[in-house]
Amino acid sequence: MSAVLQETGVPPATARRTGEVILDLKKISLSFGGVKALTDISFDVREHEIRAIIGPNGAGKSSMLNVINGVYHPQQGEIVYRGVPRRGMNTYDAARSGIARTFQNIALFKGMTVLDNIMTGRNLKMKSNFLLQALYWGPAQREEMAHRREVEKVIDFLEIQHIRKTPVGRLPYGLQKRVELGRALAAQPEILLLDEPMAGMNVEEKQDMCRFILDVNDQFGTTIVLIEHDMGVVMDISDRVVVLDYGRKIADGTPDEVRSSQDVINAYLGVAH
């Protein structure tokens, strides 16, 4: 099952240290008209953890991330982030409070360079607006330089120096996904939400992406919530896994616990309810 990473010698997830609960999702229900995307879902995420969400197509995984970062507002339930209960967090609040994400379908500015795309990840951190820049050119300039340095760090970290001036639309898919990760990292998030970061990648690109995710987690202590279809990857890099099926939680535990759950096996084999 773990073919992708066994070759790279990544230490097992259990060797990593995880901390207190940072994000607690309580009885979340979300529907769109008659469609129940999420029904009464509860799970938590611990600091420094790599927490995977898996499940068949349409299970509600992306909806769950959209609830966490305020794109969707659940009809029921509560999100407790760092001990503070929130019902109606919007995307701006979520980003300000340290939650960044990537999307299932790449959401980058295709005509802009890698550098400029990653720079957009700094927007929320920028104090000076256009007027301030005109009035106080010096400080604004210094701030701009500080942001550029952060962005260059991300570019070095992701090993994309050679393409920093290339328009994103000209890059192969695997590298576009890496740039999208870069934009999220530029915001220096506490929690990083990744929606299928390895979908459509070949084995080598997946290995690279796994290494970057593990390095982000290790070096920056970033908590990661990951949706991923490749079971080998999920089982290798996750500390804990929550399994959704038809908008309901059917399992939650370590990779080994989840792997041996009969409900999970049935869901993946398509056994009727």
For 267, which DSSP code? Answer: H
Smallest gap from Cβ 57 to ligand ADP, in A, equals 5
Beta strands at 76-81 and 21-32: parallel, antiparallel or unpaired: antiparallel
Residue 35 is a binding residue for ligand ADP (CB under 6 A): yes
C-alpha distances in angstroms, 33 versus 115, 135, 198?
41, 50, 31
Q: Which of 51, 61, 206, 249 binds ligand ADP (CB under 6 A)?
A: 61
Interatomic CA distance for residues 184 and 193, integer angstroms: 9
* Count, residues near ligand ADP per rule CB under 6 A: 11
Residue 63 is a binding residue for ligand ADP (CB under 6 A): yes
Residue 197 is a binding residue for ligand ADP (CB under 6 A): no
Q: Are 41 and 25 in contact (CB under 8 A)?
A: yes
Residue 69 is a binding residue for ligand ADP (CB under 6 A): no
3-state helix, strand, coil in the chain (%, to 5): 40, 25, 35
Interatomic CA distance for residues 104 and 161, integer angstroms: 25
Interaction residues for Mg ion, span 95-154 (CB under 5 A): 104
Indicate which of Mg ion, ligand ADP, none lies near residue 37 (CB less than 5 to 8 Å, by partner kind): ligand ADP
Residue 55 is a binding residue for ligand ADP (CB under 6 A): yes
Q: At what angle do helices 173-186 and 137-157 cross, to 10 degrees?
A: 130
Q: What x-and-dash track marks residues 41-80 binding Mg ion by CB under 5 A?
A: --------------------xx------------------
Residues that bind Mg ion (CB under 5 A): 61-62, 104
Residues that bind ligand ADP (CB under 6 A): 32, 35, 37, 55, 57-63
